[in-house]
Amino acid sequence: MDTLEGLAKLARRAREEQTPVFGVAEMVRLRIQSESRQSVTLIPLGLFGRLSALSASVIMVLAIQFWNYMTSPVMELVAPLPEIRLW
Q: Tens of pLDDT along the chain (87 residues)?
A: 688 899 999 999 999 888 888 888 888 888 888 887 777 788 889 999 999 999 999 999 999 888 877 776 676 666 666 666 655
CB 58 within 8 A of CB 52: no
Predicted pLDDT of residue 78 = 65
Interatomic CA distance for residues 54 and 49, integer angstroms: 9
Using CA atoms in the order 47, 50, 52, 56, what is the torsion angle rounded to 10 degrees?
A: -170
Residue 70 parent element (H or E): helix 43-71
For residue 14, give the nearest of 22, 6, 2 by alpha carbon.
6
Whole-model pTM? 0.41
